[in-house]
Homo-oligomer: A and B are copies of this chain.
Amino acid sequence: MGADTQKAIFEAAKSLIETKGFSAMTLRQLAAEVGLQPGSIYRYFESKDALLQALMNQHMLSLLESWNKVEGKGEDEDEDEDPVSRLRAFVAFHIRYHIERRADVIIANLELRALGDDYRADVVTKRSHYEANLRAILAEGVKAGVFPQVDLEVAAYAIIAMLTGVCFWYRSDGRLSIDEIIEVHQKLVLQGVVG
């Protein structure tokens, strides 16, 4: 029975933190949302901070694992697709994942400073590992002569910021579908506005 309750706490916490922020969310609000007394939350988390740490770590691991599944799926075959295809795949994956897990992403991006130093360093490291995947694709493209010379670090930051930005304005009842949004971004990343 406890597993369901923990999941309920996680989900309610995500929603509350997404809309109000971690510091502004109180354990009384969280408990009320789940249908518990405030003290009962401590059966599942040893502190409010530990709850945020769990959410963050969960998200970062899931993000890394999800991308690895997308890229490494072929194992033997299609291991070495061309850089353009891989970059297009990264754009599609990143946007789709960030829209589907909006709350996790917003928490991971906005609540880093609410984390203790040690845990923040860990999250930053994991994020850097994720970004390294994009840098590797860009580096390969530059090496193959498909992409002109560009600063890999800045380009990776820029592209990720651009893609992550989607989940701050996307609405499921909006004008464009996710696929259409992905297409626009693939074009922008690859060719810019002048094409």
Binding site for B on A (CB under 8 A): 19-21, 23-24, 84, 87, 110, 113-114, 138, 141, 146-148, 150-151, 153-155, 157-162, 164-166, 168-169, 175-176, 180-181, 184-185, 187-195
> How far apart are A142's CB and chain B's nearest CB, in angstroms?
9
A141-B193, A161-B168, A190-B192 known; 14 other A-B pairs, CB under 8 Å?
A: A21-B23, A23-B24, A84-B194, A87-B193, A147-B193, A150-B184, A151-B180, A154-B176, A154-B185, A158-B162, A158-B165, A158-B185, A161-B162, A191-B192
Q: Is the CB of A147 within 8 A of B194?
A: yes
| Known contacts A162-B161, A162-B165; A151 and B113 CB within 8 A of each other | no
Q: Which residues of B contact A160 (CB under 8 A)?
A: 165
Q: Which residues of B contact A164 (CB under 8 A)?
A: 161
Bound-complex Cα distance A5 to B185 (A): 47
Q: Is the CB of A158 within 8 A of B188?
A: yes
> How far apart are A133's CB and chain B's nearest CB, in angstroms?
15
Of the candidates B113, B141, B158, B184, which one forms a contact with A21 in the assembled complex, judged by CB atoms under 8 Å apart? Answer: B113
What are 7 A-B contacts defined by CB distance under 8 Å? A141-B193, A151-B176, A155-B193, A160-B165, A162-B162, A188-B192, A189-B192
Report the copy number of this chain in the oligomer.
2
Residue of B nearest to A153 (CB): B175
Bound-complex Cα distance A24 to B169 (A): 25
Bound-complex Cα distance A84 to B154 (A): 21
Bound-complex Cα distance A194 to B110 (A): 32
> How far apart are A23's CB and chain B's nearest CB, in angstroms?
4
